[in-house]
């Protein structure tokens, strides 16, 4: 397939607002691809050359892309910079400059999708001295054979700013549409993706006609994490997890127990063992193996060759007899360095689930059975221990356990349905969290920063007065604003945020952001922060879940922490905000 054809489809996709139409357009593109090309195309649409857990990054700096563009177009660096300053989009500048050049000379050879992909991969693998020069060479060669429209997407891709507005859910719909004309295979595609976190691989396997229903988890392919729902109190949790039926008066009939686990405020880790080799993935599924030598050592000593299990890691100081939270763990790691940290504050991993053991995919095995397998696996290990739990069907016992957890400095509890499978990549009622309260809110909100304000008065020195934050509409994929946050930032956070935001500011409102407010600067939606608030209210100023001009908003919002372990795709959704709003109503009616 020629890349010029891909660029034409991209250009159409960019102009479409409806997600369904967008998927239809991509389906058409996929139909013209061989399965191996579909894999390459999917990575490119995701803005990468491999699934993100591979850690490959094309990463050409703006300055270098400008030089490559100057080299190809024959214009001076100065001229390219001037045009870029005007357009604010180096891709658009590339398109315009190459269009002028095209009038003078016809380009040499045509780029195929496979050639473009192979070049990007080459660029991503270049490192060390002289690599930037070599990257410029590869990009210039691609630009030489490119139409102006192709150039636009090549340049944007290299800068990590493809901006097609196509998320993984749209690609999944498109794959099914490419084969069946509708979304018939959506569920089976989603499951395969959740089990390997590699949509490129899923696309290739699927479009070569193989049966995805037998797709299995495998070591060194991170599983998209199971997530917890929320309910406001012990009674509702027991009713949800311990009953399948209701009596005539519609009261749930309690027929089984549930597990109630301690909720540790640490760092989520997915540990993989493959033929004795260990790999550790973060919640965002990035490799972080080298950061935790003590967990690697402990995992390698387990009585299994191949396994995937999950837990929450906390630093423990034997001297102080105290656990440290996620934030404290990270801060200490920065201060002490990896080795010293391992010595002074050894980590303990509280294992809470197992998804694979010695060639067996356990994701469809019920929780209770998985738990037994997990306990047997980590028995006798010092650093990896099973999470603490009780089994109960009594709201009173659940409540007592919750209160005890809080008094021990834990964050709350996570109750789990004994008969449910591991629901990879989804927030389902298989797990329900109950946390220490945040005002009237059942939980804090993880919001994406979409813009920021400049500081006034004392804030002036930080060039930072607060942020505009948004939640994710999971139906449309849009980011809808929910709060303007000025409070809760430490001075250190203010200056480091100001620095980071400065780097990602954009001239215009980013595509996919829906806002009535106009911050001093818009930014690429990349940074996620945890926000606490007194309650959720309705407001005409915000667009989250907006109906008839009124959206949901956070009242007295304040920053709690940076969430480096989350990407915008993991932000709180509008659906969750609405369910928290409903819970708040039920709470105040009690
Ligand atoms: P989420 O992971 O649900 O998006 P979050 O990252 O903001 O939200 P919380 O809502 O506080 O975190 O709770 C869920 C997280 O709790 C899990 O992702 C996991 O990291 C952590 N956790 C701690 N203890 C447990 C446990 N016993 N079982 C499952 N998860 C646990």
Structure tokens belonging to residue 447: 């919001």
Q: How far is the CA of 427 from the centre of ligand 1 (A)?
A: 11
Answer yes or no: do 419 and 468 share one domain. no
Count of structural domains within the chain: 3
Q: How far is the CA of 113 from the centre of ligand 1 (A)?
A: 40
Q: Whose Cα sits closest to atom 16 in ligand 1?
A: 263
Q: Is 263 a catalytic residue?
A: yes
Answer yes or no: do 293 and 358 share one domain. yes
pLDDT band at residue 170 using 50, 70 and 90 as cut-offs = very high
Q: Cα 560–562–566 angle (5° rounding)?
A: 120
Output the DSSP codes for 427-439.
EEEEEEEEE--BT
Answer yes or no: do 477 and 428 share one domain. no
Residues 6+ positions from 485 with CB-CB distance below 8 Å: 466, 467, 469, 529, 531, 557, 558, 559
DSSP 3-state assignment of 452?
A: strand
Distance CA 226, CA 427 (A): 6
Q: How far is the CA of 387 from the centre of ligand 1 (A)?
A: 13
pLDDT at residue 265 in the model = 87
Please report, for the domain that includes residue 118, its CATH number.
Answer: 1.10.3260.10
Residue 398 included in any domain:
yes
pLDDT at residue 57 in the model = 86
Residue 440 included in any domain:
no
Please report, for the domain that includes residue 393, its CATH number.
Answer: 3.30.470.30
Answer yes or no: do 377 and 516 share one domain. no
Answer yes or no: do 450 and 393 share one domain. no
Q: How far is the CA of 297 from the centre of ligand 1 (A)?
A: 24
Per residue in 225-243, pLDDT tens? 999 999 989 999 999 999 9
- Give the pLDDT mean for 162-182: 93
Answer yes or no: do 546 and 425 share one domain. no
Residue 221 included in any domain:
no
Answer yes or no: do 401 and 278 share one domain. yes
> Is 70 exceeded by the pLDDT of residue 588?
no
Question: Which is catalytic among the residues 71, 263, 284, 484?
Answer: 263
pLDDT at residue 106 in the model = 53
pLDDT at residue 448 in the model = 98
Query: Whose CA is closest to 345, among 323, 316, 320?
Result: 316
Domain final position from 101, 125, 159: 159
223, 226, 228: residue to mutate for ligand 1 pocket, most atoms within 8 A of CB: 228
pLDDT band at residue 109 using 50, 70 and 90 as cut-offs = low
CB distance 561 to ligand 1 below 6 Å: no
Q: Whose Cα sits closest to atom 19 in ligand 1?
A: 268
Residue 212 included in any domain:
no
Enclosing domain of residue 519 = 445-589
Per residue in 54-72, pLDDT tens? 989 887 888 999 999 999 9
pLDDT at residue 128 in the model = 85
Domain final position from 379, 406, 435: 435
Per residue in 315-348, pLDDT tens? 877 677 677 776 666 666 666 676 776 677 788 9
Q: How far is the CA of 543 from the centre of ligand 1 (A)?
A: 27
pLDDT at residue 88 in the model = 86
Distance CA 513, CA 75 (A): 35
Beta strand 466-472 with 445-453: parallel, antiparallel or unpaired?
A: antiparallel
Residues 6+ positions from 16 with CB-CB distance below 8 Å: 22, 25
258, 262, 414, 568: residue to mutate for ligand 1 pocket, most atoms within 8 A of CB: 414
477 Cα distance to chain centroid: 13
Answer yes or no: do 575 and 469 share one domain. yes
Domain final position from 411, 435, 459: 435
Per residue in 492-549, pLDDT tens? 888 889 999 998 988 889 988 999 999 999 999 999 999 999 999 999 999 999 988 9
Residue 2 included in any domain:
no
Per residue in 402-430, pLDDT tens? 999 988 888 899 999 999 999 999 999 99
Sign, CA dihedral 338-341-346-347, equals negative
- SS3 percent helix, strand, coil of the chain, rounded to 5, is 45, 25, 35
Answer yes or no: do 337 and 463 share one domain. no
Residue 585 included in any domain:
yes
CB distance 370 to ligand 1 below 6 Å: no
**What's the chain's average pLDDT?**
91
pLDDT at residue 143 in the model = 94
Residue 506 included in any domain:
yes
List 246's β-bridge partners, or say none: 252
Residue 87 included in any domain:
yes
> Is 90 exceeded by the pLDDT of residue 24?
yes
Q: Whose Cα sits closest to atom 26 in ligand 1?
A: 263
Burial class (CB in 10 A: 0-12, 13-18, 19+), 105: exposed
In degrees rounded to 5, what are phi and psi of residue 299?
-70, -40
Q: How far is the CA of 533 from the centre of ligand 1 (A)?
A: 19
pLDDT at residue 333 in the model = 66
Answer yes or no: do 424 and 456 share one domain. no
Please report, for the domain that includes residue 475, its CATH number.
Answer: 2.40.50.140
CB distance 312 to ligand 1 below 6 Å: yes
> Is 70 exceeded by the pLDDT of residue 459?
no
pLDDT at residue 161 in the model = 86
Looking from the CA of residue 265, the nearest atom of ligand 1 is 23
Per-residue DSSP letter, 359: T
Answer yes or no: do 467 and 578 share one domain. yes
Distance CA 288, CA 349 (A): 14
Residues 6+ positions from 365 with CB-CB distance below 8 Å: 373, 421, 422
Distance CA 44, CA 121 (A): 10
Model pTM score? 0.88
223, 227, 313, 387: residue to mutate for ligand 1 pocket, most atoms within 8 A of CB: 227
Answer yes or no: do 515 and 423 share one domain. no
> Is 60 exceeded by the pLDDT of residue 351?
yes
List 354's β-bridge partners, or say none: 309
């Amino acid at each position: 397939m020629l890349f010029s054809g891909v660029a034409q489809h991209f250009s159409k996709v960019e102009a479409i607002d409806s997600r369904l139409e967008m998927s239809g357009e991509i389906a058409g593109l996929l139909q013209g691809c061989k399965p191996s090309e579909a894999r390459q195309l999917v990575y490119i649409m995701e803005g990468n050359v491999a699934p993100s857990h591979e850690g490959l990054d094309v990463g050409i700096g703006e300055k270098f892309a400008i030089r490559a563009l100057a080299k190809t177009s024959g214009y001076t660096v100065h001229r390219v910079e001037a045009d870029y300053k005007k357009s604010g989009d180096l891709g658009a500048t590339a398109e315009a400059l190459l269009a002028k050049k095209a009038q003078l000379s016809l380009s040499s050879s045509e780029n195929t999708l496979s050639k473009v992909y192979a070049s990007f991969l080459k660029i991503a693998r270049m490192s060390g001295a002289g690599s930037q020069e070599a990257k410029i060479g590869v990009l210039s060669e691609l630009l030489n054979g490119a139409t102006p429209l192709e150039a636009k997407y090549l340049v944007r891709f290299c800068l990590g700013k493809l901006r097609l507005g196509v998320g993984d859910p749209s690609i999944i719909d498109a794959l099914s549409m490419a084969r069946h004309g509708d979304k018939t295979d959506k569920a089976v595609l989603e499951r395969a993706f959740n089990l390997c976190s590699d949509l490129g691989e899923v696309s290739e396997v699927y479009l070569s006609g193989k049966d995805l229903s037998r797709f299995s988890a495998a070591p060194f392919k991170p599983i998209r994490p199971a997530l917890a729902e929320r309910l406001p109190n012990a009674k509702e949790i027991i009713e949800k997890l311990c009953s399948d039926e209701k009596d005539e008066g519609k009261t749930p009939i309690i027929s089984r127990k549930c597990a109630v686990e301690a909720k540790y405020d640490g760092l989520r880790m997915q540990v993989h063992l493959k033929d004795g080799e260990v790999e550790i993935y973060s919640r965002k599924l990035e490799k972080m193996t080298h950061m935790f030598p003590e967990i690697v050592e402990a995992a390698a000593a387990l009585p299994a060759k191949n396994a995937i299990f999950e837990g929450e890691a906390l630093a423990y100081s034997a001297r102080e007899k105290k656990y440290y939270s996620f934030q404290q763990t990270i801060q200490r790691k920065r201060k002490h360095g990896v080795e010293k940290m391992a010595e002074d504050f050894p980590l303990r991993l509280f294992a809470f689930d197992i998804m694979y053991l010695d060639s067996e995919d356990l994701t469809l095995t019920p929780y209770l059975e998985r738990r037994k397998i997990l306990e047997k696996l980590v028995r006798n290990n010092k650093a990896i221990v099973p999470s603490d739990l009780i089994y109960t069907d009594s709201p009173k016992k659940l409540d007592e356990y919750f209160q005890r957890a809080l008094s021990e400095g834990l964050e709350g509890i996570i109750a789990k349905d004994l008969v449910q499978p591991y629901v990879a990549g989804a927030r389902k009622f298989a797990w329900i969290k109950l946390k220490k309260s945040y005002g009237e809110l059942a939980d804090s909100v993880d919001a994406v920063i979409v813009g920021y304000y400049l500081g006034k008065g004392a804030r002036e020195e930080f060039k930072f007065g607060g942020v505009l934050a948004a939640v994710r509409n999971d139906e449309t994929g849009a980011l809808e604003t929910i709060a303007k946050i000025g409070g809760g930032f430490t001075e250190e956070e203010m200056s480091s945020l100001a620095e980071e935001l400065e780097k990602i500011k954009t001239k215009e409102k980013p595509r996919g952001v829906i806002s009535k407010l106009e911050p001093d600067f818009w930014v690429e939606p990349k940074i996620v922060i945890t926000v606490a608030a007194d309650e959720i209210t309705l407001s005409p100023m915000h667009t989250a879940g907006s109906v008839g001009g009124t959206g949901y908003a956070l009242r007295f919002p304040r920053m709690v922490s940076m969430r480096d372990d989350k990407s915008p795709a993991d932000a709180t959704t509008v659906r969750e905000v609405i369910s928290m709003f409903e819970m708040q109503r039920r709470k105040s009616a009690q």
